[in-house]
Structure 1
Amino acid sequence: MTHAQILLCLDKFRGSATAVEACRWLAEGIRQAAPDLRVREAPVADGGEGTVAAFLAAGYHAVPVRVSGPTGEPVTAQLAVRGDRAVVELAQASGLHLLPADRRAPLTASTRGTGELLAAAMDLDCREIVLAVGGSATTDGGAGLLQALGARILDARGAELPPGGAALAEAETVDLTGLDPRLRDTRLVLASDVDNPMLGPDGAAIVFGPQKGADAEQVALLEAALSRYARAMAKELGLDLSDRPGAGAAGGAGFAALVLGARREPGVEVLLAELGLDAALAGASLVVVGEGCLDAQSLRGKAPIGVADRARRAGVPVAAVAGRLEVPLAELAAHGIVAAHSLAERAGSPATAMAETRRLLQETGAELARRLP
């Protein structure tokens, strides 16, 4: 037992535990049941909420920045910084979780605050910036992000457009000549697990608009507005980036990142490289992955499956822990997951699982430790 090591790579349990807390609470249960067992906590994220926290846990330091929230109100966000590298989490400035359910603003929410975070990172002399997108309140095609960095998006009369995706229905021209000149010397990485284009049936408005509070009429309005914006941008650039993979991420913020020359990489892969996961796997007897709901969407490249696939290739068995488990173990087995634990099943209901996440993770950790050979 003293030579065994268990590696904990959990993502957030939305509404009840951050990734850092989930790893800590599971570790508490393991250590209580098996004090001699070596446990390494490596919280993960895939580009959405919790990405900055995961990088902070990996050794980056936090820099608080006051920026515009999705509807213009000021919010305090954090950058994760190490050396000349910074991580910007869109959700901290432009996230859906920043707006109460009765104050969603699908037509007017803006990514301006995310652009302000990028500028703040450059103010710190960071020359590589990871832009982690996911969990946005916005469908503005990243227009606010670009405007915060000096771009101008104009109507037919030459007036600057107001915030939000609906305003893009009046987009006539885009002027990028005023973009912050520091961007030319900055390497930008778009970290996203979403490969959707910006337009069409798989695009930002139609697929993700309803999640942000848009009804059918508003979705149609946003789709038409983004199409007009994309045409105006194509005239400025001399090429159309709206159909590129990832352009539809975070309501089209991915499109803005591509306009700025970003290189797109899966969010979980960016973090796993930073964690040195492959080296950590070399000494592991078991890897534990998990998140609040392990479902069919998880299988499309979310953090738990990204970690599990790496562990499978390294020959290390994987266990999964989830608030709710909605994928049969037979499907998880293809990713090297040999056991799966549901907090809702243990608790008797999802509501109890969310209310008592710490206790349930501790109990699950103790059970995992007892089952290790």
Structure 2
Amino acid sequence: MNSAQTSSRPPVVVIAPDSFKGSLSAEDVAAAIGAGIQAALPDAQIRLCPIADGGEGTLDALMHAGGDRFTIDCRNAAGQQARAPVGILKDGSAVIESAAIVGLTDSAGTAVPVDQRCTLGVGDAIKQLLDRGARRFLVALGGSSTNDGGAGLLAGLGMVFLDADGEIVPPLPEQLHRIARVDTSALDPRIGETHIVAMSDVDNPLCGEEGATAVFGPQKGVVPEQVEQLDRKLAHFSSVLEAALGHGAADKPGAGAAGGLGYALLMLGAQFRSGAETVADHIGLDDALAGADWLITGEGRSDAQTLHGKAPFIASQRARRAGVPTTLLSGGIDRSALPKLQQSFSGCFSITFGPVQLEDAIAQAPGLLRDSGEQLARLWQTAAGR
């Protein structure tokens, strides 16, 4: 309990969960938990702070604090025309969520093999936001279906890749080994005036055993026999690009994020930051925690990876610095991870009340969150002597 809490004033509860991927947005999760807290503690002051770590749901979390959200025309991972949401925050920062443009859950974009997908659409998004006057960008990298080293992004911004005969090479993973020269003369000059923050919770390099293809490729459809081949093509692409631009980034932390999209952004001068830390700053989580008595955070499923920069962990660290205890309330909890999780959270709970099929848990998630929030609040109320 926060030392500032007294029984004479209503409790202040901060609710800062990540989304339940494929089920509920972080805003919906926070609202459902808040409704449960209010049922047990009608006088509680609820501060909703949906959070994200740079993956799916980052745009929603950032836009919760206000701004202009709209859709743009852009290409999906298969190069087909599509539409995707973007946003401009109140401070003028443009927000692009890679998962909304070239995401794993886009059936049209992933209808072609992974070695034929690229990030042209992310370049489309940046150009259109530049046209609207944006010069500060927050690019969320998680959840992409691509493995092109960001070649598509660079091509979308004007770079041209050429083979030994001077023919244009398409920015596809299967073609990267053909690139012999990079023509940067048509790169959008406004990029030089732009500050880009690349947001992710991974710090992998572009290539090698810990690189984009080896670590994240399989979840995108890269089969074992393709790993070494595609990794070599990325390495070749990076060597030619770095020679053309006169600097390198392949070994920098985060270069391997989003199949190497992080690498391309770093080559353009982007700053790489923890997605959860960046979101926490922009939504004012520290301000929300000031004078609070309790933080509730969570995600779809929590395990040992939660402690490696995921949104609930970052929220708990911020709360600890503010002297606020944190409860983890997630869709599921890996029981074997409890010894580690409980070092950062004052209690770890799942929203399910017994054996349940995943599809049923997803369908019932709002009610389960509300009921769990209420029961946690009743426990907290008893412990606080209210």
TM-score (ref. length: structure 2):
0.92
Cα distance, 1:102 vs. partner?
7.7
Select the residue among 46, 55, 58 that pairs with 2:62. 55
**Counterparts of residues 346-365 of structure 1 (less than 5 Å):** 346=354, 348-365=356-373
Query: d(CA) in 1 for partners of 2:322 and 2:355?
Result: 33
Please tell me the residue identity of whatever aligns with 1:50.
Answer: G
Query: d(CA) in 2 for partners of 1:38 and 1:259?
Result: 45
Select the residue among 12, 17, 23 that pairs with 1:10. 17
Give SS of 1:39's match: strand
Query: d(CA) in 2 for partners of 1:28 and 1:101?
Result: 37
Cα deviation digits, residues 254-278 of structure 1 (max 9, x gap): 0100111001111111111112211
**Counterparts of residues 127-142 of structure 1 (less than 5 Å):** 127-142=135-150
Query: d(CA) in 2 for partners of 1:350 and 1:284?
Result: 34
> Could you say which residue in structure 2 is the equivalent of 1:221?
229
> Could you say which residue in structure 1 is the equivalent of 2:4?
none
Cα deviation digits, residues 331-366 of structure 1 (max 9, x gap): 12322x111111245454434322211111011011
Select the residue among 307, 316, 319 that pairs with 2:327. 319
Cα deviation digits, residues 49-83 of structure 1 (max 9, x gap): 11111111011220211110111222221222134
Please tell me the residue identity of whatever aligns with 1:271.
Answer: V
Please tell me the residue identity of whatever aligns with 2:23.
Answer: S
Cα distance, 1:33 vs. partner?
2.4
> Could you say which residue in structure 2 is the equivalent of 1:71?
78
| TM-aligned CA distance change 1:261 to 1:102, over 3 Å | closer
Deviates more, 1:111-120 or 1:166-175: 166-175
8 Å Cα contact 1:104/1:137 also seen in 2: no
> Could you say which residue in structure 1 is the equivalent of 2:35?
28
Query: d(CA) in 2 for partners of 1:102 and 1:190?
Result: 23
Give SS of 1:98's match: coil
Query: d(CA) in 2 for partners of 1:346 and 1:289?
Result: 21
Q: Which runs of 5+ in 2 are unaligned?
A: 1-6
Cα distance, 1:34 vs. partner?
2.1
Q: Which runs of 5+ in 1 are unaligned?
A: none
> Could you say which residue in structure 2 is the equivalent of 1:339?
347
**Does 2:45 align with 1:38?**
yes
8 Å Cα contact 2:80/2:109 also seen in 1: no
Please tell me the residue identity of whatever aligns with 1:305.
Answer: F
> Could you say which residue in structure 2 is the equivalent of 1:248?
256
> Could you say which residue in structure 1 is the equivalent of 2:308?
300
8 Å Cα contact 2:27/2:61 also seen in 1: yes
Query: Percent of pairs identical after alignment?
Result: 38
> Could you say which residue in structure 2 is the equivalent of 1:370?
378
Query: d(CA) in 2 for partners of 1:351 and 1:79?
Result: 29
